[in-house]
Amino acid sequence: MIRSSFRFSLIALIVIGCALPALPQRTKVSTPQASKTQAQASTSQAKTNLALNKRVSASSSDERGSWGARFLVDGQRDEKAGSRGWESSSDTKRNHTEWVQIDLGASATVGSVDIYPRNDPARLGEGFPVDFTIETSADGQTWTVVVRKTNYGKPGNAVQHFAFNAVGARYVRVVGTNLRYLGAENAYYMQFAEIEVYSGS
């Protein structure tokens, strides 16, 4: 009798167990991978060079040979034949102000500017201004100084990175108010191999 009751209870448990709904299977959430993807997307956006192949204007520009305003934003960070960068006209008698301006084509969030100095071995870092400002503008008329540097040392081969509080702007310009004197040419002028503009720091 006891054995029959046990058998009945066992059968009942099996029937009840079969009738219970299956538990949902756990879904594995890869949080680190999701964060990594988001970070990569953010980094990709921040690394977009807003100045690449955009229109450049300047207070003056030497357009001879491998020098020219268009070479300032052509993506070529190192000097080479056919693309050395931009340089202003030189003045053998006086220090003076020069500026170079990039039209981004539309309003954008701007948070940093990278300037690549002249880097040919014979003139490494030459032409980089001693005193200068980096300025932004929404209309090309009213300008806001976002970076101001004085007594800036002659850079070597490294990019000069300037970060600032992000602003909305269409135009970015560098204004050299105290130019570096190049004794080998007995002249004052401003030169850059490349300028890049980014939305983030």
Classify residue 171: in a domain, yes or no: yes
Beta bridge partners of 2: none
Burial of 9 (0-12, 13-18, 19+ CB in 10 A): exposed
Classify residue 173: in a domain, yes or no: yes
Give CA–CA dist 166/173, Å, rounded.
15
Listed in sequence order, the residues at least 6 apart from 40 whose beta carbon sits closer than 8 Å to its beta carbon are none
Classify residue 184: in a domain, yes or no: yes
Classify residue 7: in a domain, yes or no: no
- Alpha-helix runs per DSSP H in 96-181: none
CB 183 within 8 A of CB 123: no
Classify residue 97: in a domain, yes or no: yes
Neighbours of 84 (CB within 10 A): 22
With a cut of 50, say whether residue 6 has pLDDT above it: no
| Confidence band, pLDDT 50/70/90 cuts, at residue 65 | confident
With a cut of 60, say whether residue 24 has pLDDT above it: no
With a cut of 50, say whether residue 8 has pLDDT above it: no
Give CA–CA dist 181/175, Å, rounded.
16
Classify residue 139: in a domain, yes or no: yes
pLDDT for 80 equals: 82
pTM of full prediction above 0.85: no
Type of residue at 197: V
32-36, 83-87, 150-154: range with highest mean pLDDT? 150-154
11-15, 37-41, 52-56: range with highest mean pLDDT? 52-56
Q: Which residues of 92-123 are buried (b: 16+ CB within 10 A; e: fewer)?
A: eeeebebbbbbbbeeebebbbbbbbbbbeeeb
Q: List the single range of 10-24, 64-78, 81-95, 149-163 with lowest mean pLDDT.
A: 10-24
Summarize the confidence of residues 13-28 as an average pLDDT: 38
Q: List the single range of 40-49, 97-106, 131-140, 165-174 with lowest mean pLDDT.
A: 40-49
Look at residue 42 and give its three-state secondary structure: helix
pLDDT for 163 equals: 98
Neighbours of 195 (CB within 10 A): 24
Tokens coding 65 = 């040979």
CB 193 within 8 A of CB 84: yes
Q: What is the domain-level CATH number for residue 123?
A: 2.60.120.260
The whole domain housing 57 covers: 49-198
With a cut of 70, say whether residue 109 has pLDDT above it: yes
Classify residue 70: in a domain, yes or no: yes
113-155 pLDDT tens trace? 999 999 888 888 999 999 999 999 999 999 999 999 999 999 9
Classify residue 39: in a domain, yes or no: no
Beta bridge partners of 91: 188
| DSSP-derived secondary structure letter, 39 | H
More confident residue, 133 or 3: 133
CB 176 within 8 A of CB 97: yes
Q: What are phi and psi of 93, to 5 degrees?
A: -115, -25
Count of structural domains, the chain: 1
Query: Residue 177: in which H helix or E strand, if any?
Result: strand 160-178
50-62 pLDDT tens trace? 999 999 999 999 9
Average pLDDT, the chain: 82
Torsion sign over Cα 126, 185, 150, 175: negative
